Chains A and B, each alone.
Chain A
Amino acid sequence: MALLETRRLSKSFGGLRAIHDLDIDVEAGTIHGLIGPNGSGKSTFFNLVSGVYPPDPGSSITFAGTDVTKSPPHAIAKLGMARTFQLLRLFSEMTVLQNVMVGYHTHVPYSLLGTLVNSPRTRRIDARITEEMSELLEIIGLAEYADMPAAELSGGQRRLLALGRAMATRPKLLMLDEPAAGLSPVNVDNLLSIVMALKDRYGLTLLIVEHILKVVMDTCDRVTVLDHGEKIGEGSPTEVKDDPAVVEAYLGQEMDDEEVRQAMQA
């Protein structure tokens, strides 16, 4: 059974069908790519699966064997799903360390009462969390900025922090929404190597939305192509690249000489 399964997943905004009858299986341990032109429903898919939007009736989402179709986001996160956002949505007034510590929230084992009396146990746990989180910051290379507000970081560092914050939830499935957008080629490689290191270390399953084809081609085991909210292709990166339906969606229909001539006259 796949880690994440959607069946007949649909979402309409008014008259606009953003996602329509989508069946996707993300197998545990794989890197699954999700590509498609702008407006094809990739981000909507993320929002549906992570519980940010409620799906339309008739849809079903199963994650790690649990039906999460109607679950709120925090309950889904608790089951082991983490995601990043295209626009990052960092907690900018909080420090870098606090940002990742929020990610760890579901695993904090003490109660508010323990906090109030500031019991030795609470302090021990807090010290351990801080240590673990510092280690995570070490891996993503932001350790020295731990006490800076997240707003002070550069664009590339912010992307890394968003990744680290998602990782702090100790996820089974990590969903990355355009993790490399706006990065220079060097930084893209850097980011990819960090993602791969994290995947190996924590045994992650990855679902990646990306426009930079190099990222998808280099890393993904399996790719799903969306267009207008529907699946138009699925397979290994090479299969998908040569699929005529995919090429058409991305580049438009090929025209023969006669059609080009008519189009120019018109």
Chain B
Amino acid sequence: MNLLLAPFRGLVDFFQALARIHRIVPWLVAYVFLLPLPEILSATGNDYYIYLTNRILIFILLSVGLNIVKGFCGQVTVGHIGLYAIGAVTSSLLAINYGWPFWAAMPAAVVVTGLAGIIIGLPSVRLEGAYLALATLGLGESVRIMIAVTPALGSSTGIMLIPPPQVGSFVFDDFQKYYYLVMTAAMIGIYLSFSILRSATGRAFMAIREDVIAASVHGINVPANKLLAFVISALYAGAAGALFAHMPPGFIHHNNFTIIEMVTLLLMVVMGGIGHIWGGVIGAIIVYIIYDNTLEFYHIQPLTFGLIMVLLVVFMPQGIGGVIDRYLVTKRFVKLREEKSDGAA
């Protein structure tokens, strides 16, 4: 295990050293590191890998958002894909029917999705655990069915020819150009999730996850903070949905928002590590690559993913991120003990 985590540890040390210069420095360094990724991938001669990377980055946004409400606030929601659908449909309809540019349609979609987040979150005020999961599942799935039966929302043909984003004469019309857009969005999303979760609001979310009653008697407005968590995660889903809709080839279909996608998304968060900020990122990368490479076994995919999730919950409830966290905490604890015994000697 030590051997396995050693390179990771080195990376953490490196970025912590950078953070000491200024808190934004590690982010800029990581950003610069990631910029040439499509060039490297295009060397394989297959644009598909860049497309795959873009999809992963969109799912990273989704799972980082889901981690806020599920991992940090402890609210079991299975309606997240519904919010993603709302973001995608809102943005594409504004762009196609009203000619809004992407830069106006996307923020509008984010706001609309945020409002929808309140509705998905409302059951959390009364319900917990499996009951909340069922309620949110119903809400999320009804969004998809609504899209599937309403011609104005695409129904069975989907929405086509969604225009790509454009800055001046520069059009984000191929996978490589789009990569810069989604990568920037994902980085901003991760950075903001760090800011939120390290603040008093983040602590309030965690306190609610750990013990609702103790949180409330220490002055935390539990219903308001639960809703806030839902809204924040909905904002992420809205942004991810809009980015997905405008990505070339500019086509969305209600089949993009099924319960299968939801299970995949849940698996990302669970495997990466619930309540671990990097968990959603790690999980999104691993699960999406597996998902994409096993598409030919689509008929047993949901079953397998569900099974993996059950096994993870039983044998590795904290996920990959949890294992890494555990390793770091143990290390710190041992160090503390050593310092103590040194002091005594």
Q: Of the 9-residue stretches B176-184, B203-211, B264-272, which lies at the interface with chain A?
A: B203-211
Q: A77-B219, A112-B199 are in contact. Are A102 and B213 (CB under 8 A)?
A: no
Docked Cα-Cα span, A243 to B27, in Å, equals: 70
**CB of B282, distance to nearest CB on chain A (Å):** 19
Task: Provide the residues of chain B in CB contact with A101, threshold 8 Å.
Answer: 200, 203
A127 at interface (Cβ–Cβ under 8 A)?
Answer: no
Q: How far is the CA of A51 from the CA of B203 in the complex (A)?
A: 22
The residue on A at minimum CB distance from B216 is A73
Cα distance, A171 to B199, chains bound together (Å): 22
A253: chain B residues within 8 A (beta carbon):
none
With contacts A73-B216, A74-B219, A112-B199 known, is A149 near B329, CB below 8 A? yes
Taking a contact as CB atoms under 8 Å apart, the answer to whether B217 and A90 are in contact is no
Interface size class of B (residues with CB under 8 A): 20 to 34
Roughly how many angstroms separate A92 CA and B209 CA in the complex, as a whole number?
10
Q: Which one, A52, A112, A144, contacts B336 given CB within 8 A?
A: A144
**Chain A residues with Cβ under 8 A from B220's Cβ?**
74, 102, 105
The docked-state distance in angstroms from the alpha carbon of A82 to that of B214 is: 10
Which of B192, B201, B214 makes the CB contact (< 8 A) with A91? B214
| Chain A residues with CB under 8 A of B195 | 115-116, 118
- CB-contact partner of B210 in A93, A105, A108, under 8 A: A93
Judging by beta carbons under 8 Å apart, are B221 and A74 in contact?
yes
0/1 interface trace, chain A 14-58, chain B, CB 8 Å (1 if under)? 000000000000000000000000000000000000111000000
What's the least CB distance linking A159 to chain B, in Å? 14
List A residues at the B interface (Cβ < 8 Å): 50-52, 72-74, 76-78, 82-83, 85, 89-94, 98, 101-103, 105-106, 108, 110, 112, 115-116, 118, 122, 126, 144, 147-149, 152, 165-166, 168-169
Which residues of B pack against A, CB within 8 Å? 23, 192, 195-196, 199-201, 203-204, 206-207, 209-211, 213-222, 228, 275, 329, 332-333, 336, 340
